[in-house]
Structure 1
Amino acid sequence: MNIVGLFRRAIWLVKVTPEPVGRGIFRAIGTVVGWSNMSGSVQVRKNYQRVTPLRSGLAQRRRSAKALRSYMDYYYEAFRLPALSIDSIVARVRLHNGDKLVEHLSQGKSASGSLLHMGNWDMAGAWATKELAPTFSIAEKLEPPELADLFLDFRRRLGLTIYQTGGVGAISALTRDMRAGNAFVPLLCDRDLSASGVEVTLAGHRARVAVGAALLAQRTGEPMFPVTIINERIDDDERARRAGTRHGIVCVIGDPIYADVPPEAEADEREADIIRMNQEWLDQIEPLLHDHLTDWHMLQKVFVEDLDPDRLARARRATPKEEI
């Protein structure tokens, strides 16, 4: 079975099984994969060791199993999203420390958001476009194209406006969207998909991150908000009834980060400012990452020590591009 067929079967399984059964199946798969030596599981252990080291190999495998269960929760919940009512989606999401973001967007202004691959960002996006402002983002252009189309259609059905990496002018389009009026643009920035990212420090280690959210803030003069999505159990009975589950997420909003230089500044000034903004973002969210590490679904290489030296050398010679 090809990857597209596999995902279609997974979506079918989510639709036809009760939540405890479907979630249990997904979690069992995550547990097996997390204990294994599959490349993604090995890499997640390496990433976690750089953030919060564990001495025992058994403890590291136990942690990666928990992480992959969390990751499969993401897939289960994401596939279920199109079938949920708006009230159910709203009840599954809780906003923490979001007053500044809500106030800014309520004035008809725009903002970008810088995210890690944590929790369920698709659910957060579906919630945001209903509760905060029209929500725009960028999605990785997956292979084969049929898989990319499947995820693109799914996210657009949630009410999101999505551009793809590799497309023409994604950042320019998002810049126009933000300047045109009320828009929230959360972007996953902890992977440098374009090879035009910048190096910053995370948990004492050098890492490459994407520049999109900071670049949008620099080009529009609007703030970039750190957004960290954490899984939580819904203890409130009324909220759980409306959600239809005890599984929810918290969107923790950091303090707004503004550009210090205008878009007309020299390239080296703009790059230095983008590095500064991204470092401020990571400094704000690092304590949350330590406390909720297994909600970080990072099965790819992000730390400089893991990157291919030739690719790294090419990336270091590049400067942040105007497009992603």
Structure 2
Amino acid sequence: MTLQARVWDLGYAAGWGLVRAMPQRWAMRLFEVTADRAARGGGPVQLRRNLARVLSTAPEQVPDELMRASLRSYARYWCEAFRLPSMDPVRLAATIDSVATGVEHIHEAASRGRGAVLALPHSGNWDLAGVWLVQRVGTPTVVAERLQPESLFRRFVRFRESLGFEIIPLTGGAAPPFEQLTARLRQGRMVGLLGERDLSGAGVPVTFFGEAACMPAGPARLAIDTGAPLLPVHCWFTPDGWGFHIDAPIDTSGGVQRTTQSLADRFAAGIAAHPADWHMLQPVWTADRRARDRARSNPDH
């Protein structure tokens, strides 16, 4: 393990230990101060580029207030993630019941025993959506990117398993993820997938906020192959809580490409409504991914 990897691993370990032990108000203030420091000087370049697409403006015209709010939102997600294992899941589920809309789509899928594919962007606190599923429907199955070092990946697996999730690794598992997810859906289980960032490099071409991008084929393929409904889910933060919305099922009869485009359109609507809560600091659009790849292949230029 490299020194940098060891530092990352120990940092997350400290987060789950120390932040959980701190009073909530102190912990949140610590994360807010860290976010405000990260926003100085314009904030992360890629985040600014991503938000520029959402606002249909140039990166330099993205308001500094939005950058600060976005980084605070991202910090809030991590603060809540570190504290979540010690929070009361029954109380959290009741809170979500009082604010979530569209939950009837999940209940309908569960009552039919068909399972459902829940597709989410990296917005708000998606782990809380999973906590609600555990309490109200049953164990959700989610896919986890295999992080490095392996010890860090195992920490994230233990974290989400402690919340009641079943974890399938994106790589290095007992069987290909698609096969395992298909089996769970045919058992009537719920599958949750973060769906706006293509990690494979072989995603489906879509238009996202008016520009070319690629998104994973998995949500559409799973829904088409199993007959399970594909339900877009959006999560966001409110000043004193959370917001959650489950959209009506997407029509999958047009095939993988058209279904994925419909999903991209639903994601765009949710992100546009709550741009500060979209935690995307990585390239999503094709132009940015190509620029990143060129920079990696020509590090001296």
**1:179 matches 2:161:** no
The answer (yes or no) to whether the contact 1:112–1:187 under 8 Å persists in 2 is yes
Indicate the percent of aligned positions where both proteins have the same amino acid.
Answer: 31
Q: Distance in 1 between matches of 2:166 and 2:41?
A: 37
For 1:82-101, what aligned pairs fall within 5 Å after superposition?
82-93=85-96, 94-101=99-106
Q: Deviations over 1:125-164 (max 9, x none)?
A: 1211211332111011111111111001100111100111
For 1:1-80, what aligned pairs fall within 5 Å after superposition?
2-36=7-41, 41-54=44-57, 57=60, 59-80=62-83
SS in 2 for 1:308: helix
Q: Distance in 2 between matches of 1:194 and 1:137?
A: 17
- Residue equivalent to 1:295: 277
**1:112 matches 2:117:** yes
- Residue equivalent to 2:298: none
Q: Distance in 2 between matches of 1:112 and 1:23?
A: 32
- Residue equivalent to 1:240: none
Q: Distance in 2 between matches of 1:185 and 1:160?
A: 10
For structure 2, the residue ranges without an aligned partner over 5 or more in a row are 1-5, 295-301
Distance change in 2, residues 1:297/1:310 (3 Å): closer
**1:286 matches 2:268:** yes
Q: Distance in 2 between matches of 1:309 and 1:49?
A: 16
For 1:161-310, what aligned pairs fall within 5 Å after superposition?
161-167=166-172, 168-180=175-187, 182-233=188-239, 246=240, 248-260=241-253, 273-308=255-290
Q: Distance in 1 between matches of 2:182 and 2:293?
A: 29
The answer (yes or no) to whether the contact 2:51–2:62 under 8 Å persists in 1 is no
The answer (yes or no) to whether the contact 1:163–1:170 under 8 Å persists in 2 is yes
- Residue equivalent to 1:315: none
Q: Distance in 2 between matches of 1:301 and 1:130?
A: 34
Distance change in 2, residues 1:176/1:17 (3 Å): same
For structure 1, the residue ranges without an aligned partner over 5 or more in a row are 234-245, 262-272, 313-324
Give the C-alpha shift of residue 34 in structure 1: 2.6
Root-mean-square deviation (Å): 2.1
Q: Distance in 1 between matches of 2:59 and 2:127?
A: 34
One-letter code aligned to 1:250: G
Q: Distance in 1 between matches of 2:83 and 2:30?
A: 14
Distance change in 2, residues 1:172/1:10 (3 Å): same
Residue of structure 1 aligned with 2:108, choices 86, 100, 103: 103
Give the C-alpha shift of residue 286 in structure 1: 2.2
The answer (yes or no) to whether the contact 1:35–1:64 under 8 Å persists in 2 is no
Q: Distance in 1 between matches of 2:9 and 2:245?
A: 33
Q: Distance in 2 between matches of 1:76 and 1:34?
A: 17
Residue of structure 2 aligned with 1:159, choices 159, 164, 168: 164
Give the C-alpha shift of residue 298 in structure 1: 0.2
One-letter code aligned to 2:219: A
